[in-house]
Copies of this chain bind each other. A is one copy, B any other.
Amino acid sequence: MKNPFKTLSSKIVYQNPWIRVREDAIIRPDGSEGIYGVIESHDSVMVGAVNEKNEIYIIQSFSYPAQKWHWELPAGSSDGEGILIASKRELAEEAGIVAETWQQLGLTRVADGLMTEKMATLLATDLTLGDKVASDDEGLINDGKFASLDEIHQLIAAGEMDEGQTITSLYFIEKWIKENA
C-alpha cells in the first residue's frame, strides 16, 4: 500500500546526545500542507530475566520525565550497539545478573505517532546472580527482586508498574512462560 504522506523537506530542530528532533514539511493525505515533528533516538532493549520458578526480575527505578519511582524491567538504550551486547550490559548493570541463554522475543515501536525508536524484548534464562556492575545508573535504582506473574499483575493494577514499555515486554515474556511452563 502507498505511503499517503509526501515529505517535502526535513530539518533537525533540536538534538542532544540521546535524542534528535526532526521537523518535516509534509503534504498530508488530504492534500493540505503542514509539518510533522519526529523524535529520533537509538533503538532500545528490555530484558526479561526469568528464573527456574518462572519469576521475572524487576527493578524499582526513577523516571525523570514522570518524576516518580516505579517498577520496570531492566532496560536501556542500545547506544547504537548490537541488541545482545546492550541487553547483557543492562542486565549486569541494573540487576547484577549474568545469563547463559538469550532469545529475542519481540521488536516493537515505542510511541507510534511521535518516535522512530524500536525496542527489542529479550528473554534471559540460565541466570547467575552477582553484584551490580558499576555504571552511570548509580542512584537511579532503589530496589530489585524476582517477582511472579501474579505479583507483577498486582503492581500493574496498583499503578506501581505503569509504563508501557515494560507492559509491552511483559506481553512477550508472559506468552513465553505460558507456552514453556
Binding site for B on A (CB under 8 A): 1, 3-5, 13-14, 16, 18-19, 21, 23, 26, 28-30, 35-39, 41, 62-67, 69-70, 72, 75, 106-117, 119, 136, 138-140, 142, 153, 156, 159, 162-168, 170-171, 175
Contact = CB atoms under 8 A, between A and B. Distances in A.
Given A65-B113, A164-B168, A167-B171, 16 more contacts: A14-B37, A18-B114, A19-B37, A19-B114, A29-B138, A30-B136, A30-B139, A65-B115, A66-B112, A66-B116, A108-B162, A108-B163, A111-B117, A111-B163, A114-B115, A170-B171
Identical copies in the complex: 2
12 contacts: A16-B35, A18-B114, A28-B136, A39-B39, A39-B114, A75-B112, A108-B162, A110-B110, A112-B163, A153-B175, A156-B171, A168-B168
Q: From DSSP, what is the main secondary structure of chain A's interface residues?
A: mixed
